[in-house]
Amino acid sequence: MYDQSDYEKFYRSLYRIRRVEEEIAKVYPTDKIKSPVHLSIGQEAVSVGIAEALRADDIVFGTYRSHAMYLAKGGNLKEMIAELYGKVTGCAKGKGGSMHLIDNNAGVMGTSAVVGTTIPNAVGYAYALKYQRKDSIVVSVFGDGATDEGVFYESLNFAALKRLPIIFVCENNFYAIHTHQRIRQAVTNIYERAASYGIPSERIEDNDLFRIYERVSDIVTGMRSGTPGPFLLECMTYRWKEHVGPGEDYHLGFRDRQEAEPWVKNDAVQLLAAKVEPDRRSLIEAEVESEIEEAFKFAEDSLFPDAPELLADVFQEKDQSKQQDANASPSRKLDRTLSYVEAIREAADQEMERDPSTIVFGLDVDDPKAIQGTTKGLLEKYGPERVFGTPLSEDAMTGAAIGMALAGLRPTHIHIRMDFLMLAMNQMVNVAAKSHYMYGGRVHVPMVVRSMIGKSWGQGAQHSQGLYSFFAHVPGLKVVAPTTPYDAKGCLLAAIRDNNPVMYVEQRILHFQKGLVPESDYTVEPGKARITASGDDITLVGISFMQLECQRAQRYLEDVGIQAEVIDPIWLSPLDIDTIAKSVEKTGRLCVVDNSWITCGISAEIVAAVAEKLQGVREFAVQRMGFAPVTCPPTPALENLFYPNARTIASTAYDLVKGGKNGWLPDERSDLQDIQFKGPF
Ligand SMILES: Cc1ncc(C[n+]2csc(CCOP(=O)(O)OP(=O)(O)O)c2C)c(N)n1
């Protein structure tokens, strides 16, 4: 079945990987390599067997232990070594290191230092390929340790549900760092778990390159010719070296050399070497040696990145063609009133119509209530491939959204409560925010995450949290919290067209707001605040729903002759500090009212940034307001005290203007009352 040329091809790849890693191990103690290395020595047959069965346009996602897969799939060797050296010629310009290798030209789409993390990314990528009617296949490679993680099972479920063209490959080397699988898992047959999801699977016991190659070839051929995916393959193998670093770890006592012996005796490199004609083998080895020598020389000779590179690649700039479309809106006639909900729905609808890469999904997106109506009619109009409800898998579905974005889609993932985003933090913070930077600008992640903050009618501890400051803290994420229907539409259009991940935050009561919204296409771009009322005495900055309360407070203050300037930052990251600072320079007083807790929140950020800007220019009085520093109680008796409101804001502003504590609280005006939300939810 195999001829000499097959043996030579496989041997070249296998030998090359082994020798590259041996050289890495040799150089490592010199400190020229600037990142930790997780070597695959002993495990190479898995990567070669898989990669040889794939086409160039097939895609792999891996782990921090991915030198082998990167090289087997055709990743650029020089760029890999330069990356390990931290050089600007590295595959990620020195911003990724060994644990974050990428070569999108070769279909190596990313590797992660957080166990299990790329599995849902691979699933999302496969979703995109299927949607784009491409016949490429995705392979998700991970270790046995990753199968301890919940996201693995969420990913299997979604891939099976959508019958995606993906092969899950578990490279089972028995250990997660120093802990054997039998200490971590009650049942160690990983491949058998796939059956619970209706996924065919099998295990290859012996690290046999040819068997792996043959099975992957069959599976891939089947998938390309119509057998729906996914498939799970468990490849038993063995890591010869320590978990991280160039040495061995048998002396640590968690495993002994005896266990390794059969694997070392069955070394795939040696077995294959014996099949290659000696002359040809010498030639291949000589060619590989000189290629490796050149690669290390390339890395040595390359430069480290210049200082400006530190701040480059946090966000990807806008695609000019999309920008032109956005600006091409003929008019912005303000002759229609829409609710906030209708404005969101219209933005999604218009963008889906304009751009077929736009898709919308999330729990309940397709149910009769359609996320308070914000997705109403989209399923009927655009079909279930572009509009779908999801399993309750916030972690995996966020990872899948990232994978879709990497593959060229523009997903919007919707959460009916912001609180649920806590289950998606790993993907948002470790992957979405970082991919553009840690892959040296080679990929970008255009995705929107919509989420809602509840208030009143018993939302309680876990349906009420305004957690946007968590996300605004992280470089690489944009955060927007529009308060008017006009901004709801314009910000959503801007967010979907942005080439970066955007957290789009809706306060639930804002859904009832009505306002003028142009029918035309327009965007409200990141980083520009809006002055919603002008005044000279005090600057009130209201975030999200608290913007409405600040506007009402401004009216109460007017009654007592105090003119407040009210500012809506709209975008919390990037934040328009200039507009706020300019106002404070005029008023000399700043009150920031957050729809969240104060400590370490966006209100602290705004005050600090304004103080830095006005240092030596203008002294100013300052006060922050926000949730009481407790968990939100559902009983109205306490909940009413938990939130700032127009009257308490006015009272605080009054004290700032007059100085001291005056005890003034305006009488309630019926025309300035909050909407009474009757629920449920
Ligand atoms: C979510 C997460 N938890 C813990 C770690 C620390 N850690 C790094 S590697 C590793 C072992 C993973 O083992 P496995 O998935 O089998 O891959 P292998 O190292 O054997 O290739 C652990 C626990 C991590 N990186 N990510």
pLDDT digits over 164-193, tens only?
Answer: 999 999 999 999 999 999 999 999 999 999
Full residue range of the structural domain in which residue 94 is found = 4-303
Asked whether residue 396 carries a pLDDT value surpassing 60, the answer given is: yes
Q: Is residue 308 part of a domain?
A: no
Backbone angles phi, psi at 328, to 5 degrees: -75, 5
Ligand 1 atom at shortest distance from the alpha carbon of 243: 19
End residue of a domain, out of 493, 516, 539: 516
Would you call 310 helix, strand, or coil by DSSP?
helix
Q: Compute the distance from residue 114 Cα to the ligand 1 centre, in Å.
A: 7
Residue whose Cα lies nearest atom 25 of ligand 1: it is 114
Percent of the chain's residues with pLDDT above 90: 92
Backbone angles phi, psi at 384, to 5 degrees: -75, -10
Asked whether residue 455 carries a pLDDT value surpassing 50, the answer given is: yes
Give the full edge-to-edge strand order of the sheet including 571-573: 387-388, 358-362, 410-415, 448-453, 502-507, 478-480, 571-573
Q: Sign of the C-alpha dihedral, residues 44, 49, 50, 52?
A: positive
* Number of domains, the chain: 3
Q: Is residue 14 part of a domain?
A: yes
End residue of a domain, out of 473, 494, 516: 516
- Tokens 């232990």 correspond to 65
| Residues 461 and 495 both lie in one domain | yes
Please, which pLDDT band fits residue 41 given cuts at 50, 70 and 90?
very high
Ligand 1 atom at shortest distance from the alpha carbon of 114: 26
Round to whole Å and give the CA distance between 305 and 93.
7
Asked whether residue 34 carries a pLDDT value surpassing 90, the answer given is: no
| Residues 486 and 457 both lie in one domain | yes
Q: Is residue 313 part of a domain?
A: no
Residue whose Cα lies nearest atom 3 of ligand 1: it is 115
CB under 8 Å to 536, separation ≥6 — which residues? 563, 565, 586, 587
Q: Compute the distance from residue 177 Cα to the ligand 1 centre, in Å.
A: 6
Q: Compute the distance from residue 244 Cα to the ligand 1 centre, in Å.
A: 10
Gyration radius of the chain's alpha carbons: 28
Q: Compute the distance from residue 70 Cα to the ligand 1 centre, in Å.
A: 18
Ligand 1 atom at shortest distance from the alpha carbon of 144: 16
| Residues 138 and 23 both lie in one domain | yes
| Residues 449 and 538 both lie in one domain | no
Strand locations in 523-655, DSSP E? 530-533, 538-542, 564-568, 571-573, 589-593, 621-625
pLDDT of residue 331: 66
Q: Compute the distance from residue 50 Cα to the ligand 1 centre, in Å.
A: 22
Q: Is residue 487 part of a domain?
A: yes
| Residues 440 and 534 both lie in one domain | no
Q: Is residue 196 part of a domain?
A: yes
Residue whose CB lies within 8 A of the most ligand 1 atoms, among 174, 177, 179, 182, for a mutation test: 177
β-partners of residue 107 are none
Residue whose CB lies within 8 A of the most ligand 1 atoms, among 61, 115, 239, for a mutation test: 115
Please, which pLDDT band fits residue 674 given cuts at 50, 70 and 90?
confident
pLDDT digits over 309-340, tens only?
Answer: 999 999 998 765 555 444 445 567 888 999 99
| Residues 103 and 70 both lie in one domain | yes
Which residues form ligand 1's pocket by a CB distance below 6 Å? 63, 65, 113-115, 143-146, 173, 175-177, 243
pLDDT digits over 559-605, tens only?
Answer: 999 999 999 999 999 999 999 999 999 999 999 999 999 999 999 99
Residue whose Cα lies nearest atom 21 of ligand 1: it is 143
pLDDT digits over 253-272, tens only?
Answer: 999 999 999 999 999 999 99
Rounded average pLDDT over 408-416: 97
| Residues 172 and 89 both lie in one domain | yes
Q: Residue 189 is part of a domain; what is its CATH number? A: 3.40.50.970
Ligand 1 atom at shortest distance from the alpha carbon of 116: 1
129 C-beta neighbours (distance < 10 Å), count? 24
| Residues 493 and 581 both lie in one domain | no
Q: Compute the distance from residue 655 Cα to the ligand 1 centre, in Å.
A: 55
Rounded average pLDDT over 543-547: 97
What is the residue-averaged pLDDT of the chain?
A: 95
Q: Compute the distance from residue 463 Cα to the ligand 1 centre, in Å.
A: 33
Q: Compute the distance from residue 150 Cα to the ligand 1 centre, in Å.
A: 14
Of 206, 177, 172, residue with least CA distance to 189: 172
Q: Is residue 677 part of a domain?
A: no
β 358-362/387-388 pair status: parallel
Q: Compute the distance from residue 255 Cα to the ligand 1 centre, in Å.
A: 17
Percent of the chain's residues with pLDDT above 70: 97
Please, which pLDDT band fits residue 491 given cuts at 50, 70 and 90?
very high
| Residues 542 and 512 both lie in one domain | no
β 530-533/564-568 pair status: antiparallel
Asked whether residue 679 carries a pLDDT value surpassing 70, the answer given is: no
Q: Residue 593 is part of a domain; what is its CATH number? A: 3.40.50.920
pLDDT of residue 678: 67
Q: Is residue 65 part of a domain?
A: yes
| Catalytic positions, written as ranges | 394, 463
Round to whole Å and give the CA distance between 561 and 537.
10
| Residues 33 and 129 both lie in one domain | yes
Q: Is residue 311 part of a domain?
A: no
Ligand 1 atom at shortest distance from the alpha carbon of 40: 21
Ligand 1 atom at shortest distance from the alpha carbon of 148: 15
Q: Compute the distance from residue 88 Cα to the ligand 1 centre, in Å.
A: 28
Residue whose Cα lies nearest atom 13 of ligand 1: it is 176
Ligand 1 atom at shortest distance from the alpha carbon of 146: 15
Ligand 1 atom at shortest distance from the alpha carbon of 63: 21
pLDDT digits over 107-166, tens only?
Answer: 999 999 999 999 999 999 999 999 999 999 999 999 999 999 999 999 999 999 999 999
Of 579, 595, 572, 578, residue with least CA distance to 645: 595
| Residues 451 and 354 both lie in one domain | yes
Q: Is the ipTM of this complex over 0.90?
A: yes
pLDDT of residue 325: 43
| Residues 404 and 262 both lie in one domain | no
pLDDT of residue 680: 65
